[in-house]
Amino acid sequence: MHQLNETHDTALTSWVESANQAGCDFPIQNLPFASVRRAGTSEPFRGAVAIGDHALDLAAVNAAGVFDGVVAEWLALAAQPKLNAFMAQGQEAWSALRLALSRALRTGAAEQAALSSCLIPLAELEYDLAMTIGDYTDFYTSIHHATAVGSLFRPDNPLLPNYKWVPIGYHGRASSIGVSGQQFHRPKGQLKAPDAAEPSFGPCKRLDYELEVGIVIGQGNALGEAIDIEAAERHVFGLCLLNDWSARDIQAWEYQPLGPFLSKSFASTLSPWIVTLEALAPYRAPFQRPEADPQPLPYLTGAANSAQGAVDMQLECLIQTPTMDAPVRLSRSNFRDSYWTLGQMVTHHSVNGCNLNAGDLFGSGTQSGPAPEEAGSLLELTRGGKQPLTLPGGETRTFLEDGDTIIMRAVCEKPGAPRIGFGEVRSTLLPAR
């Protein structure tokens, strides 16, 4: 677990004035990473760090020769179009570069003159995925989501017997994951109505979003070597937002006996900025199970995981239909309510000897809270499409319609701690081809 250090000091300010404004997602205590270039150009993508309403172009910083020694070597890796090589260096490298950047961006820093020309306004940027994603695993860590969905299909037995014992997950498709701004066509597939004698083929009619947290793996492990729960978070580079789109009607027909397939593989969308676990140190919280529930098996139990395995991360989902001038909120929830922790996901994934690699992505699964209005999907909010939502202006939705844009945001915020924002992930559903 990361400990509080000088980079978390709430008194720190930056010579980038916008980073000091109230409500800023990217103050100097954050410094998330992304892959960027100026929009509408053929410039190469390169690594960047967000500060206020600007991005610090790490390739330009590298060329300016501001740092030396091993920090300069790590900066050169972080300046590449993809962060995989930097993430593979491990926690020591991530922390040291973040500290060096923090010191160079602070009010009064001697590096201001050299770094000022390395800033690009966020409004002028376009993004690529920050890493090459070799493998993608989607978990199912929200017991509130699992219970709500289970109750729709199995009212007498919403949770399957293994849920409280095993961090459930499935291997998803990495090739169709895109970055915020992604547009995709309504998927087609086999559909079968409950009263139909046989399936038909056509466009999905029950297209849904899933509000998830993306977990980005940094340093991997060797094939055959499990990751101990006490060391698990040393393998997590950071967190982002993930919209794991779902075709519910395709899913209902295909998922037995092996789980999701074409209902999930057509698109998933990530937010561009990866917030490091170190930046989130002030927002770690105890991981606790209800006393009546089974406690995790010993390999999933550790002192640090129990003391601060949860993350107090406020999540928000909004919709903007083609007729709306501005988006409206659909729900809010908190990653703190997750039934399984980051460390438990990493440990369980590797316990059989599975090797993780830098740039691998985990999805947390849909993050829903205990209250109905905290549901992280339309499937839950509309009770399987039986209770349509009424939006401002009189529109209704059971599932998404063509042209709808879904926006997800997240922030960590509390008195006495710096506000850490994640930006947003935004994506739009197009008509079927």
d(CA 379, CA 365): 14
Q: Residue 397: pLDDT above 90?
A: yes
* 132-161: average pLDDT: 93
Q: Read off the tokens for 92.
A: 């020591």
Q: How many CB atoms lie within 10 A of CB 157?
A: 10
* 326-334: average pLDDT: 98
- Given strand 46-51, what is the order of strands in its sheet? 119-121, 54-57, 46-51, 33-38, 125-128
Closest CA to 270 of 174, 187, 413: 174
Q: Read off the tokens for 259.
A: 């789980």
- Asked whether the beta carbons of 346 and 235 are under 8 A apart, the reply is yes
> 232 vs 156, which has greater pLDDT?
232
Instruction: Please calculate the CA angle 301-306-311 and round it to the nearest 5 degrees.
Output: 120
Q: Read off the tokens for 185.
A: 């066509």
The mean pLDDT value of the chain amounts to 97
pLDDT at 256: 87
Listed by start position, the domains of the chain span 6-128, 136-430
Total length of the chain: 433
**Chain-centre distance of CA 256, in angstroms?**
27
pLDDT tens digits, one per residue of 29-50: 999 999 999 999 999 999 999 9
Contact residues for 196 (Cβ-Cβ < 8 A; gap 6+): none
CATH homologous superfamily of 136-430: Fumarylacetoacetase-like, C-terminal domain (3.90.850.10)
pLDDT at 420: 98
d(CA 283, CA 281): 5
The architecture of the domain spanning 6-128 is Roll (2.30)
In 376-432, DSSP assigns E strands to 389-390, 396-397, 405-412, 420-430
Q: Residue 417: pLDDT above 90?
A: yes
What phi and psi values does residue 173 have, to the nearest 5 degrees?
-100, 120
Q: Letter for the amino acid at 160?
A: L
- Asked whether the beta carbons of 316 and 410 are under 8 A apart, the reply is yes
d(CA 65, CA 346): 37
Predicted confidence band at 153 (pLDDT cuts at 50, 70, 90)? confident
Q: Letter for the amino acid at 44?
A: P
Contacts for 395-399 with beta carbons within 8 Å, 24 or more apart?
395/321, 395/323, 397/319, 397/321, 398/206, 399/205, 399/206, 399/207, 399/208, 399/248
* 327-339: average pLDDT: 98
pLDDT at 230: 96
Q: Beta strand pairing status for 284-285 and 310-311?
A: antiparallel
**Chain-centre distance of CA 38, in angstroms?**
24
pLDDT at 184: 98
Q: With a threshold of 0.85, does the pTM exceed it?
A: yes
What phi and psi values does residue 116 have, to the nearest 5 degrees?
-55, -40
Q: Read off the tokens for 17.
A: 């004035």
- Asked whether the beta carbons of 339 and 141 are under 8 A apart, the reply is yes
Q: Read off the tokens for 174.
A: 């990495």
pLDDT at 157: 85
Instruction: Please calculate the CA angle 238-241-245 and round it to the nearest 5 degrees.
Output: 135
Low-confidence winner among 48-52, 158-162, 410-414 (lowest mean pLDDT): 158-162
- Taking only Cα atoms into account, the Rg of the chain, rounded to an integer number of angstroms, comes to 22
Q: Read off the tokens for 116.
A: 């000022």
Closest CA to 212 of 307, 313, 124, 133: 313
d(CA 350, CA 355): 6
- Asked whether the beta carbons of 103 and 157 are under 8 A apart, the reply is no
Q: Residue 156: pLDDT above 90?
A: no
pLDDT tens digits, one per residue of 242-278: 999 999 999 999 998 888 999 999 999 999 999 999 9
Helix (H) or strand (E) holding 48: strand 46-51
pLDDT tens digits, one per residue of 305-322: 999 999 999 999 999 999
d(CA 305, CA 356): 20
pLDDT at 154: 87
Catalytic residues: 145
Contact residues for 355 (Cβ-Cβ < 8 A; gap 6+): 220, 221, 222, 223, 224, 225
Q: Residue 131: pLDDT above 90?
A: yes
Q: How many CB atoms lie within 10 A of CB 134?
A: 15
The dihedral built from the CA positions of residue 334, 337, 343 and 346, taken in this order, carries a sign that is negative
